[in-house]
């Protein structure tokens, strides 16, 4: 079976935590932390941490749906992330 690569981007409040988890998932590759949205072009980590740039910390990665389903990716995400917590 040929590998299929799809891309997912998840914002979990802190990319350090989500980055570490998704790097360990079989079928997930090329995990890259970064920022989404916001008003400051090319912000630094320190700027984003102030909360004044409007950016969210995210990870973007490739995954093979023949190895790990998107449903499982989301199950993992909502196990490690509580979207009802302010600023997460």
Q: Does residue 57 lie in a domain region?
A: yes
Distance CA 43, CA 77 (A): 25
- The model's pLDDT over 65-74, given as tens digits with 9 standing for 90+, comes to 999 999 999 9
Neighbours of 73 (CB within 10 A): 19
| pTM score | 0.82
**pLDDT, position 56:** 86
Q: Does residue 88 lie in a domain region?
A: no
| 14 in active site | yes
Residue from 14, 25, 56, 67 carrying the catalytic annotation: 14
pLDDT at 82 over 70: no
- The model's pLDDT over 33-70, given as tens digits with 9 standing for 90+, comes to 988 888 989 898 899 888 888 888 899 999 999 999 99
Q: Does residue 58 lie in a domain region?
A: yes
Q: Does residue 48 lie in a domain region?
A: yes
Q: Please give the residue range of the domain that contains residue 14.
A: 6-80
| Residue 46 burial class via C-beta count within 10 angstroms: exposed 0-12, middle 13-18, buried 19 and up | exposed
pLDDT at 86 over 70: no
How many domains would you assign to the chain? Answer: 1
Q: Does residue 20 lie in a domain region?
A: yes
């Amino acid at each position: 079976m040929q590998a299929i690569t799809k891309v997912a981007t998840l914002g979990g409040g802190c990319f350090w935590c989500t980055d570490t988890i998704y790097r360990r998932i079989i079928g997930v590759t090329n995990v890259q932390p970064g920022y989404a949205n916001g008003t400051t072009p090319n912000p630094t980590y320190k700027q984003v941490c102030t909360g004044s740039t409007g950016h969210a910390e995210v990870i973007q990665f490739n995954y093979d749906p023949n190895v790990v389903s998107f449903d499982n990716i989301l199950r993992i995400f909502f196990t490690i992330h509580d979207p009802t917590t302010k600023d997460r």
